[in-house]
Amino acid sequence: MDGIPGIFQFRSRFGGQTVAYPEGPASFPERFRGLPLLDASKGDGGRAAEEVCPTGAVVDPGTPRLAIDLGRCTFCGLCEEASPGAVAFTRDYRLAARSRNELVVKGEAPLLARALDEKARALFGRSLRLRQVSAAGCNGCEAELNAAGNIQFDMSRFGVAFVASPRHADGLVVSGPVSENMREALLETWEATPAPRLVIAVGACACSGGIFRDSPVQSNGMPGVPEIPVDLWIAGCPPHPITFIDGVLRLLGRVEKDELRLAGTGILLPSAET
Amino acid sequence: MANRVLQAWNGEAVGAAEVPVLPVDEFQQIVADILTAGGRVSSYFGREDGDRTLVTAVLADDAQGRLAVLSTRVGASWTSLSAECPSLQAFEREIFEQFGVRPEGHPWLKPLRFEPPLVPGVDPWGRVAQPSTIPGNYPFFRVDGEEVHEVAVGPVHAGVIEPGHFRFQCHGEHVFHLEIVLGYQHRGVERLLVGGPDRRTVGLIESLAGDTSVGNAISYSNAVEAVSGAHIPARASVLRGIALELERLANHVGDLGMLAGDVGFLPTASYCGALRADFLNSLAEICGNRFGRGLVVPGGVRFDLDPGAAGRLADKVQKAWEQVDGATGLFFESPSVRNRLDGTGVVSRETCMALGLVGPAARACGVSRDVRRDHATGVFRFLHVPTVTGETGDVYARAWVRRLEAERSADFVVRQLRSLPSGPVRAPCPPPLPDRLVVSLTEGWRGELCHVVTTGHDGRFTRYKLVDPSFHNWIGLSLAMRGEQISDFPLCNKSFNLSYCGHDL
């Protein structure tokens, strides 16, 4: 069938696509690596994990203070292979925090971003327009941020959307380790965004420089750009679209409950979602 | 010529000392002869060599599946070949920027990615310090005349994409010339890779271009296995092929949706945006990451599929492909879509050959080159994916070629998932041998990913030269825009969808 009738016919066969989250559970593949759970009393206490970690994210191995800095973690899972027992990844997709330090986790408690104060929630809670700045992001974070707006994750159902100009934006979403060659453009975009404004750092690179940490031509992410205060840090390489949306909704006070609801495993096909 | 160049094959290591080092004029004569006779430059890069620079050329003979490798030592300057061989234009600028070797007579000797020189000394561009803003410090090509105006776009764009600057010389809507300035994404990757392999290497390779994690990881692993003398199990080889084609599917399907969005055909834009996820999620079913990160490592792959999971994955990919077929069918059959795509952003076959374009952008011009067929490694040695070509070189051809390629990839993935060879998925990979050189090519979804790796006396990487397909293809986008309307730029840009960070490294 051609033309408009053909489009409608396809649409009816295709069915609804939007994920059940946040009202319903979120689906993730069985092998998805989310919040790690650390136990220094098991295995080698994380010593081998520290040796294989590509970004130096394992903190205090072999001591009861064993932790992982999710701001550096690329979720490659090599630590889990190297130190079984001491490190185990769960499928908890909630990986955002209000301060950089909170991303250093032991995994015994969920990592849930605190909401903004009442005044800021009144301003941004029902409509949040964001300008994205890729400051040497590899297109992994950018691709997942785009996906957050597609019909599957459909971020705009919460009043959250990306806009074309910083002048129209309530805040910035920064990805990448902030290359020297993007530093000034990032600062100018920040200055062009009217206050009050939020800043969200997305991905290991923006949180710490990630895999590019200590390369001389970048800034180790937003901690290396003190001119711009960050309101929300989101871990991942790249963060899953639901991780991003969950972080933003918690920031806005739109999602508050802390029970974790994960659907049965399986590919996120329409039939599996609804 | 046989004695003056080293004949090498994709993914087969040679002794670094076997590469002949020729006098500069002889080297340039051979390069120019091969390129003007239909050869293609895969890589062309410098290495520090005392007070001189050792330049190595890797020239592909796609018909024979061979690679010619030759070197020369140059001082502070040499004659530019770019006017005769335009496919060298960016390579000569890169060697100038990294090593200060001035290509005399280069038609447009401008900064390439604003990276600090790889050798200490004077900045080739004569800058005192790193410039504060790149476009402001860049001498653009200008068209003068009454009512001629400039349009500047970027580095921060309207969409959620990487940064780059585009400068148009226009008369009304008509574009005379587009100059593209890149370098904003420069992270210093090639420097970080020297001294490897180490625990950071795979992660760096997977983040070269985030949408090509699998392709680059395969090129890297093939290179390391070659310099180490390792062989991977058959099952690992097939799983790598499946992951590579899933990556191609995800990107091709996603970009067809983006193209639909750019011409305002929203049904396909919406459906393809969602369907792309099915292929990304298939990668996540295998390895836990939607971009296939953490899957491919030297020696094989880190994750296996049990028979039940492989069968379920095959069913899901089959079903997702049937939906893509329907969603893209709406798009290509719509007259209003065809009206926007047909004849827009044409690159001729001659231009494509001269510029050395690769991947779907080249195949859309009717130039049949595909590493999976021409320089096959791994699973593609014995299981073939048919190569698709277009003929018109326009946005339509680039879109249609990608639609057909996605179909071939889906067919490949489903068939291989249903007939996986048995056995292990990983073999030991010993440390690299000293003093080796290997060229490792993989057909990523944008085209040829070229990794050239050299090891030193201690087996460590002394140079890791990367050429992303975008490095060849950005100039193709510039030329596709000549004589077009500026309002068609987003459409042309998306039809190439080139990597900024892959270029900027």
Q: Taking the complete model, does pTM exceed 0.80, yes or no? A: yes
Domain region containing B214: 189-467
Residue B245 shares a structural domain with residue B346? yes
pLDDT for position A255: 87
**Fold topology of A118-251:** Rossmann fold (3.40.50)
Q: What is the pLDDT of residues A251-261, one digit of tens each?
A: 999 888 877 77
Q: Decide which of B94, B112, B130 is a domain's last residue.
A: B112
Mutation for testing the A interface, residue in B115, B153, B160 having most A CBs under 10 Å = B160
Q: What is the ipTM of this complex?
A: 0.91
The CATH number that applies at residue B315 is 1.10.645.10
Average pLDDT, integer, range A2-12: 80
> Cα(B445)–Cα(B246) distance, rounded to whole angstroms?
10
Which tokens sit at B228? Answer: 């180490």
Distances (CA, A) of B410 to A268, B245, B321, B346: 18, 7, 7, 28
On whether residue B504 sits in a domain, the answer given is no
- Closest CB from B184, B281, B288 relative to A77: B288
For the stretch B159-208, pLDDT in tens is: 888 999 999 999 999 999 999 999 999 999 999 999 989 999 999 999 99
Indicate if B255 and B385 belong to the same structural domain: yes
pLDDT value at position A26? 84
pLDDT band at A273 (very low <50, low <70, confident <90, very high): very low
Distance of CA B445 to the CA centre of its chain: 8
Q: Where are the domains of chain A?
A: 36-92, 118-251
Torsion of CA B201, B357, B116, B25, to 10 degrees: 110
Domain co-membership, B199 together with B339: yes
**Shortest CB distance from A151 goes to which of B156, B200, B270?**
B270
Chain A residues 56-95 with a CB less than 8 Å from chain B: 74-78, 81
Per-residue pLDDT tens over the stretch B420-439: 999 999 999 999 999 999 99
| Single-letter code of the amino acid located at A273 | E
Q: What ranges in B182-233 are assigned the alpha helix state H?
A: 189-193, 201-206, 213-228
Rounded (10°) CA dihedral B124, B130, B133, B138: -10
Do the chains contact at A10 and B330, CB–CB below 8 Å?
Answer: yes
Chain B contact for A33 (CB, 8 A cutoff): yes
Interface of A with B in 103-122 (CB under 8 A): none
Is A240 within 8 Å of B326 when comparing Cβ atoms?
no
Same domain, yes or no: B303 and B209: yes
Q: How does pLDDT run across A105-122, given as a tens digit for each residue?
A: 998 888 999 999 999 999
User: Distance from A258 to chain B by nearest Cα, in Å?
Assistant: 24
| Residue at B454 is within a domain | yes
Closest alpha carbon within chain A to B257: A150
Chain A 166-225, CB below 8 Å of chain B: which residues?
A: 166, 176-177, 179-182, 184-185, 189, 205, 210-212, 215-218
The shortest C-alpha distance from A77 to chain B (Å) reads: 8
State whether A268 and B277 contact (CB < 8 Å).
yes
Q: How many domains does chain B have?
A: 2
Q: Which residues of B touch A140 (CB under 8 A)?
A: 207, 210-211, 213, 291, 293
Residues B216 and B108 reside in one and the same domain: no
Same domain assignment for residues B108 and B196: no
Closest CB to B204: pick one of A75, A211, A268: A211
* Shared domain check, B297 and B194: yes
- Phi then psi for residue B33, to 5 deg, are -60, -45
**Which of the residues in chain B have pLDDT under 70?**
1-2, 122, 127-136
Does B197 lie in the same domain as B80? no
Which of B82, B112, B142 is the last residue in one of the domains?
Answer: B112
| Paired tokens of B490 | 């987003």
| CATH no. for A36-92 | 3.30.70.3270
Q: What is the pLDDT of residue A1?
A: 60
Arithmetic mean of pLDDT over chain A: 89
Considering the domain boundaries, does residue B120 fall inside one? no
CA–CA min distance A42, chain B (Å): 23
> Quick check: is B170 in a domain?
no
